[in-house]
Every structure is written in C-alpha cells, then in structure tokens.
Structure 1
Amino acid sequence: MINYVTLGVSDIEKSASFYESLLEDFGVKRLVNMDRIKYIGKSMKEPMIAVCIPWDEKEPSPGNGNMFSIAPGNKQKVDKMHEKALSLGATCDGAPGQRVPGKFYAAYVRDFDGNKICFNFFG
C-alpha cells in the first residue's frame, strides 16, 4: 500500500548516506539518485524512503506528529537499530522499551533534520 515516504532534509548526501547505512541490513540501496531527491529501498516495487531538498527551497521542518516506523523483527533488533541510528548521528527521542506491556516494544530517534523514526516490535 505505501509506495514511499518523503523526508525534507537540509543536506541530501548526508541524509541519503544515513538512511542507506541505517537500513543496509534490510538490503536497501539508492534506487534513484537525482540532484534534489534520492529514493532508497530494495526495489521500486517495495516501500521506499525518499530524502529531498524541499521544492520551495526553504529550510525543511519535520511535521508535528509525523513519524515513520520500521519493524526489524524482534526486540533485540529494535535495540540494535536504535543503537546504530545513534552511532550514525541521530538523536535519541525515546530509549528502547516496552510501551504497551506484552504488545508494543519501541525505540525512537530523530535524524539530522528532526524527522522522527520509530523502531518497533508488536508482540
């Protein structure tokens, strides 16, 4: 259902490299590499992340309440993704932990431009 999520960024190369490195264990790569937008994913037929310089050329700003989530498969992988994001320069926006007892485990970070990312495991 979801084709791609677009994130406005201030440094397109830095952001594209961040998401490629963060998600390399999922087998992603840069699929489209234009000056103002880069698509990162497994294939054009699977969900992708696009990082772009906003078309109005104003500073990007993350939306209040906007977030995208990645489900790496289990709690240990949630912890690993959170740690990896921090090592790549993201900032912590919620340490790994059980959010809904027995149902939802999650960790949160923000990228260089403040875009919020959740790593989660349901179950």
Structure 2
Amino acid sequence: MISHLTLGTNNLELAIKYYDQLLKLFGAKQIAKTDQVVFYAFADSSTKFAITKPYDGHVATSGNGTMLALKAPNEQLVNEAYNLAINLGSECEGQPGPRDNGAYTAAYFRDLDGNKLVVFYRPDK
C-alpha cells in the first residue's frame, strides 16, 4: 500500500496556493503543514499527497518519466481541473480529450515547478 506521494517545490507558499485550489476539486484538504512540507488527504483514499522543499537544500527538479495521476469521476472535472491549472500558470502537456481510442479522457499539464500531472476519467466497464 502506498502511504503518500511527494513532489518537490522551490516555492512552498506558491505551490500551496496552487495545490489548495487544484486539489479542492478532488475533495482534498490539507492535513499537515510545516515550513518544509504540506500534506493533503483525499476523502475516499488512504493515500496522501505532499509537496515539499527538498530536505537536502538543493533545487527541486521534476523527474523525467515521473507523473502524478488524479482520477476524476467524470469528463467535466477533467476539463475543469485542466482549465484551472492553466489559469494558475500550468504549462499544457496535452489538452483534454479522448485517449487510447476513446478508452478514457485525459488532460496533461505541468505544475509551477515543472512536475507533470494528468487528470483522467475512465468509465467503469
């Protein structure tokens, strides 16, 4: 079982403003905060999400091939989350639309530190 996922940031306060707004769409709330890290919890999951300034004091960097996936309950939330992310300063990595011959709908973007995220909706079969 995964306890939590962590992404690095070089500006924790700016990242908190970004993720507070984005993750609110998914029902997430801050559950712990220090001057180094903030943790979010989701209503229907035991897995947490954290953003942190690197503890080693070096610059936070995004991982090539690293991506955080947020599961949406419908296509409308995929669009809403993508539009909000772009309005908050995200870089587009793939506009909302069907993927894998229509098997699911997804939108890809990078947060303010360059971390890649996807919001997706896959209908239950």
Q: Same fold (TM over 0.5)?
A: yes
Distance 1:93 1:28 in 2: 23
Deviation at 1:98, TM superposition (A): 1.0
Q: 1:104 to 1:27 in 2, by over 3 A?
A: closer
The answer to whether the Cα contact below 8 Å between 1:7 and 1:115 also exists between their aligned partners in 2 is yes
Q: 1:122 to 1:42 in 2, by over 3 A?
A: closer
RMSD (Å), alpha carbons: 1.5
Deviation at 1:42, TM superposition (A): 3.5
Deviation at 1:77, TM superposition (A): 1.4
Distance 1:4 1:86 in 2: 25
Question: Are 1:96 and 2:96 matched, yes or no?
Answer: yes
* 1:114 aligned residue: 114
Gaps of 5+ in 1: none
Share of identical aligned residues, percent? 34
The answer to whether the Cα contact below 8 Å between 1:19 and 1:40 also exists between their aligned partners in 2 is no
TM-score normalised per structure 1: 0.91
* 1:77 aligned residue: 77
TM-score normalised per structure 2: 0.89
Question: Are 1:39 and 2:32 matched, yes or no?
Answer: no
Distance 1:16 1:52 in 2: 10
Gaps of 5+ in 2: none
Distance 1:98 1:59 in 2: 35
Distance 1:4 1:121 in 2: 21
* 1:7 aligned residue: 7
Q: Secondary structure at the match of 1:107?
A: strand
Aligned pairs, number? 122
Deviations 1:21-54 (A, max 9, x none): 11113332211111111101247x7222111111
